[in-house]
Amino acid sequence: MSLRDDFERLLDESVRIHGHLCPGQVLGVRMSIYGLEKIGIADPKGADRKKLYLFVEIDRCATDALQSVTGCSLGKRSMRFVDYGKMAATFVNLETGQAVRVVAREEAREKAKEYFPDIENKYQCQLEAYKIMPDDELFYHQYVKVEIPKQDMPGRPLKRVKCDSCGEYVQDMRDLSVDGKTLCRACAEGAYYRPL
């Protein structure tokens, strides 16, 4: 069975993980299927699981669906979050090097009304329309070239060092050398947190 033929099961699984059904879930499942087809990945959680790498550009509902369908995750180091705030994802076939960036069309939000004019709630209308709209009305895509640094690839850490300032350990070449000292990014550039 193809991923496309398995849409309802994939959506149910995504909803279970995400916690509720919403237009973003439908869009994320459809985007996953579309992107995987474009790079020749048929079994992302099985035979093809080590061939797939995913970049996501938004931290919204669709990202949970992308993770659910593809099996990619931050913890497995097969997903990278790039904070562009765009409803877009890039699917990379590590075996072939082929990569496609898929972007949700903004106009699909309004076009949904053409499919279900009787549904007044815009989110419910989008949810139902996104299930049946043709791919080319939901997305556009472009084939791209992606360079993935070796320190960002799945697998064991390539390097682990101690920060000379805070004493915490830094993995995967995220340390910085400043005035001859090895520092974590929080010490070198400022942290997102402030100790109390």
Summarize pLDDT for 8-47 with one digit per residue, the tens.
999 999 999 999 999 999 999 999 999 999 999 999 999 9
pTM of the model: 0.91
Q: Are 4 and 30 in contact (CB under 8 A)?
A: no
Q: How many CB atoms lie within 10 A of CB 163?
A: 19
* Domains of the chain with bracketed CATH: 4-150 (3.30.1330.130), 156-189 (3.30.60)
pLDDT-derived band at 195, boundaries 50, 70, 90: confident
pLDDT of residue 3: 84
What is the chain's alpha carbon radius of gyration, rounded to the nearest angstrom?
Answer: 20
**Structure-derived torsion over alpha carbons of residues 151, 154, 160, 165, reported in degrees to the nearest 10:** 70
138 sits in which H/E element? helix 135-138
Summarize pLDDT for 130-168 with one digit per residue, the tens.
999 999 999 999 999 999 999 888 888 889 999 999 999
Structure token pair of residue 96: 């072939």
Average pLDDT score over residue span 107-115: 95
Structure token pair of residue 165: 């300032």
pLDDT-derived band at 56, boundaries 50, 70, 90: very high
Q: Is 80 helix (H, G, I), strand (E, B) or coil?
A: strand
